[in-house]
Every structure is written in C-alpha cells, then in structure tokens.
C-alpha cells in the first residue's frame, strides 16, 4: 500500500514477501529473469521497511504530506538497495536474508528522515566551544550541582575544541550523528572515535578531581 492516498495518513502494510527465492544471494548474483525477479522482490521488501520507518518518524517532518512521505520512502529504499547489493558478499546466513535486508531499509530511511528534519536547523558549531561557564553560586553546591559543575569545567579544560564541539552537539544538543557528520564533512566512525576519546578524557579529569572513583585495574594487569 502506498502512503499516497486518502487525506489522513494511514500506516503502510507490513506483510511479508511471498514466494521468496530459496537462496537470495544466489538469485541476486545470477543473471537473467531469475535475478530480475529477485531484485524486484528485494526492492518491494526494502520499500515496505522504508515506508514503515518513515511512518514511525513522520512527526519529525512537520507538515510533510502523503506524497512527500512516499518520496522519502522510495528514495531510502533505493539507497538501501544499492548499499545492500554492495555488501551482498558479507551475508553470513546467521539470520533470514529478509531480516538482514530489512535492517538496511530501516537504517537508511531513519537516516534520511533525520537529515531532512535537521536540514534547515542551524547548528552553531563554532559557538559551542566558546560558551562561557557560569559559577552556580554558594547556594547551588549540592552534590549533584557540584558534579555538574565539575563536568562542565572538565568539558571546558580537558577536551580539545573539536572534542568539545562534537561532544556538546551529540550529547547535549542531541544533534543526530549522521547530520553532524554531514555538517562537519566527516563520517560516523570518526565522530564515534571523537566521543570515545572525549569520554575517556572527561572521566580521567573527574577521577583526578575526586568526583568519580578510580576504576580498579582489570584482572591480570599490574599497575
């Protein structure tokens, strides 16, 4: 069922693809009518998954109508298909092929919706690193406020400007990681590495200041 239709949006159908090839990888890797049929059935599956995910996230797209939602789903399904076919050789058969394939549609459509939802929102990355910290004052020194103040101080002093921008954008402002990667001209893995390193620095700083306990050495290691 297409999302395009009546005046009020209705959820897309989520049935299963029937008459599946016994071996999807073999069918998709073959030539002629067998491959064509497998490709058509695969795209139908991916489009169903994309429509489902776009429907679930439709509230983030404001007033997007039926035609726009269907356009997004079709674009996501096309992208998911290209990605899947490029990684077809990595399928190990640990789950049903359709389950494995469905995840490509879900991930791609979610990424596309988040990108569209944020495309007109300003992200002041240059300003994030320079926001001045404020002393909470004598009356605010409860244990929680003290820790929050220590975290803020650590963010300002223990992180590099790039780590600070990425950490604040992802963990404080909740900018989707794929959106931030696009804005910064990098990729998700690089941002994951930046956040991982930033968290290690923050923890070390908070341990040194006495706000967090030191982690005991792992078994089999010596200090």
CA distance 21 to 39: 11
Task: Place 124 in a pLDDT band, splitting at 50, 70 and 90.
Answer: low
User: Percentage of the chain with pLDDT > 90?
Assistant: 8
Domains of the chain: 24-118 (no CATH), 125-208 (1.10.10)
The stretch 116-138 carries a mean pLDDT of 55
What is the distance, to the nearest Å, from the Cα of residue 55 to the centroid of all Cα atoms in its chain? 17
CA distance 181 to 185: 6
Name the DSSP letter for residue 4: -
Q: Which residue did the predictor score with more confidence, 36 or 217?
A: 36
pLDDT above 60 for 37: yes
Written as six digits, the tokens of 87 are 């990684």
pTM: predicted TM-score of the whole model, two decimal places: 0.52
pLDDT at 143: 59
pLDDT at 175: 76
Residues 57-104 pLDDT 10s: 878 777 777 788 888 888 889 888 888 888 888 898 888 999 999 999
Give me the long-range contacts of 61-68 (CB less than 8 A, separation at least 24). 61/113, 61/116, 61/117, 66/3, 66/4, 66/5, 66/9, 67/4
pLDDT above 70 for 181: yes
| Mean pLDDT for the chain overall | 75
């Amino acid at each position: 069922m297409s999302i395009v239709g009546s005046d009020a949006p209705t959820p897309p159908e989520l049935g299963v693809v029937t008459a599946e090839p016994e071996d999807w990888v073999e069918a998709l890797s073959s030539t002629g009518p067998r491959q064509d049929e497998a490709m058509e059935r695969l795209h139908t599956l991916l489009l169903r998954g994309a429509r489902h995910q776009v429907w679930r996230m439709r509230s983030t797209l404001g007033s997007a109508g039926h035609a726009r939602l269907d356009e997004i789903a079709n674009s996501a399904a096309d992208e998911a298909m290209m990605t899947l076919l490029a990684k077809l050789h990595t399928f190990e058969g640990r789950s049903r092929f359709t389950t494995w394939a469905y995840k490509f549609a879900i991930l791609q459509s979610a990424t596309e919706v988040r990108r569209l939802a944020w495309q007109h929102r300003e992200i002041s990355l240059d300003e994030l690193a320079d926001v001045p910290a404020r002393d909470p004052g004598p009356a605010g020194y409860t244990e929680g406020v003290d820790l929050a103040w220590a975290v803020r101080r650590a963010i300002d002093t223990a992180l590099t400007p790039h780590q600070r921008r990425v950490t604040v954008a992802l963990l404080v402002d909740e900018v989707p990681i794929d959106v931030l990667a696009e804005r910064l001209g990098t990729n998700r893995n690089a941002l994951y590495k930046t956040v991982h390193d930033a968290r290690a620095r923050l923890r070390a700083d908070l341990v040194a200041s006495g706000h967090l306990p030191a982690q005991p050495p792992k078994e089999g290691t010596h200090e």
